[in-house]
Structure 1
Amino acid sequence: MSALETEIDELWERKQNDDVSADTAGEAEYATLDAFLDALEDGEIRAAEKRGGEWEANEWVKKGILLNFGLRSIEPSEYGGVTYNDVLPLADSSDYGDRGSRNTPDGTVVRRGANVGSDCILMSPAFVNIGARVGDGTLIDSCDTVGSCAQIGDNVKLGANLLIGGILEPVENAPVIVEDNVSLGAGCRVTSGFIVGENSVVGENTLLTPRIPVYDLVEEEVLYGELPADRRAFTRFVESSIGDHDLFDGGAYKPAVVATDLETETLEATEREDALRE
């Protein structure tokens, strides 16, 4: 256990026992919280990690994020000529250029405590929340939201107008995971701790959530909460259990996700996009 983890755990216990609050927190508490946010931004700690082939939340990291909300006061700040009110400032992006990353102006917002890697592209308006990790070479397109603690891998492409949901509580729950080399089409939604396996390509406007089944035609099984690696996925509608109800003339249907092998033309299209970006 690191010294920082010990300090966060102790501060969490104090907060739970009402021994410290936003009104009573002082220099020592804020020093711990600031060091924690620096470690998040530098990628030294993460909200979730893969262990033994399974993604697990780092509970103490999520506790540290919640402490930053619970022990700080709301303060006014300026961004783009507009005053906003929050407990956290925005991340300092002045070193992005040094590592080959760019965030376009007019609305690209990275909150303090988010980790953005090298050679990334963040198109405005986009929002990356605290605890999120954006891997090297990843594209965050216009109108995208990357929620709190979401873990986005290397060389991922997030299409425009896309939502990656955030999970802070309960602290033991793993956040949304998008593994390396994934391409998510415009308008996709990934929520509630769903895991998108590496190298997968997901069609536009697909909703990935544990409540919607994934029909994996490769292994011929129905999955919930995950899309396996190396899949091409898209939305289809399957007959509902109330399909023959009198209220539904012609039958009722519910959404599902169908996963197949990656098709040659899909891979070629991805390779063409890579060539254009280079």
Structure 2
Amino acid sequence: MSALESEISELWTQYQNDAIDAGTAGEDEYATLEAFLDSLEDGEVRAAEKQGDSWEANEWVKQGILLNFGLRSIQQYEHGGTTYNDVLPLADSSEYGDRGSRNTPDGTVVRQGAHIGSDCIMMSPSFVNIGAHVGDGTLVDSCDTVGSCAQIGDNVKLGANTLIGGVLEPVENAPVIVEDNVSLGAGCRVTSGFVVGENSVVGENTLLTPRIPVYDLVEEEVIYGELPADRRAFTRFVESSISDHDLFDGGAYKPAVVATDLETETLEATEREDALRE
């Protein structure tokens, strides 16, 4: 356990036991919180890390983020001529250019405690929340949201109007993961701790969430909560258990995701239907 982790864990215990709050925290406590935020922004600590084949949350990191909300008071800040009220200012982007990253004006918002890697492009308007990790060479396009603690890999393309959900609580739950070299088409939604495997290409307007099945045609199985690596994925609709109903003709359908091998050409409509029904 690092010194920072130990200090955050101790603060968390005190906070949970009502031994400290925003009114009683002092210089030492705030120095710990500032060091924690700096470590997040530098990429030295992360809200989740890959252990073997699976991603696991670093609970103490999530605790540190929650402490920054619980032990600070709301203040008034100025940014780009706009007054806003929060417990933290926005991230200092003055060093982005030194590492080859761009954030375009009029609406690119990165909250303090978010990591933006080298050679990134942040198009406006876009928003990256505290605890998020955006890897090197990644594009965050216009109208994108990267939620709290989301882990975005290197060389990822988030198409315009993409939503990456945040998972801050409960602290033991892993956040949304988008691994290296993934391309998400415009309008995609990734929520509730879903893991998008490396090198995958996801079609526009695809919803990836643990409640929607992924029909993996490579391994010929139905899985939940993840898209395996090296897949091409797109949305289809499969028959619902509701089936026929007096209120509508032709049965009911529910969304699903179909995943094929990257090297396989996109299946024709009739082939996709046959694959889903087999």
TM-score, normalization: structure 1? Answer: 0.94
Secondary structure of the residue that 2:154 maps to in structure 1? coil
Secondary structure of the residue that 1:10 maps to in structure 2? helix
Counterpart-to-counterpart distance in 1, 2:12 and 2:252: 49
Shift of residue 265 of structure 1?
7.0
Counterpart-to-counterpart distance in 1, 2:264 and 2:123: 29
User: How many matched pairs?
Assistant: 266
Name the structure 2 match of 1:100.
Answer: 100
Give deviations 1:43-98, integer Å, cap 9, x for gaps: 11000000111100000000000000000000000111110000010011100011
Matches within 5 A, 1:113-124: 113-124=113-124
Name the structure 2 match of 1:262.
Answer: 262
Matches within 5 A, 1:101-250: 101-250=101-250
Counterpart-to-counterpart distance in 2, 1:265 and 1:136: 29
Amino acid at match of 2:145: T
Secondary structure of the residue that 1:15 maps to in structure 2? helix
Amino acid at match of 1:46: R
Shift of residue 248 of structure 1?
2.4
Counterpart-to-counterpart distance in 2, 1:265 and 1:224: 24
Counterpart-to-counterpart distance in 2, 1:11 and 1:34: 13
Counterpart-to-counterpart distance in 2, 1:17 and 1:258: 47
Secondary structure of the residue that 1:109 maps to in structure 2? strand
Amino acid at match of 1:218: V
Counterpart-to-counterpart distance in 2, 1:28 and 1:88: 18
Name the structure 2 match of 1:270.
Answer: none
Shift of residue 264 of structure 1?
6.5
Give deviations 1:246-272, integer Å, cap 9, x for gaps: 222111100000000114779xxxxxx
Amino acid at match of 2:239: E
Amino acid at match of 1:50: K
Name the structure 2 match of 1:57.
Answer: 57
Secondary structure of the residue that 1:186 maps to in structure 2? coil
Amino acid at match of 1:15: Y
Name the structure 1 match of 2:85.
Answer: 85
Counterpart-to-counterpart distance in 2, 1:206 and 1:98: 35
Name the structure 1 match of 2:73.
Answer: 73
Matched, 1:2 2:2: yes
Secondary structure of the residue that 2:232 maps to in structure 1? strand
Name the structure 2 match of 1:272.
Answer: none
Counterpart-to-counterpart distance in 2, 1:141 and 1:52: 31
The share of aligned pairs that are identical, in percent, is 87
Amino acid at match of 1:176: V
Amino acid at match of 1:227: L
Report the RMSD for the aligned CA atoms in angstroms: 1.0
Secondary structure of the residue that 2:84 maps to in structure 1? strand
Secondary structure of the residue that 1:215 maps to in structure 2? strand
Give deviations 1:86-131, integer Å, cap 9, x for gaps: 0010011100011000000000000000000000000000000000
Give deviations 1:146-184, integer Å, cap 9, x for gaps: 000000000000000010000011000000000000000
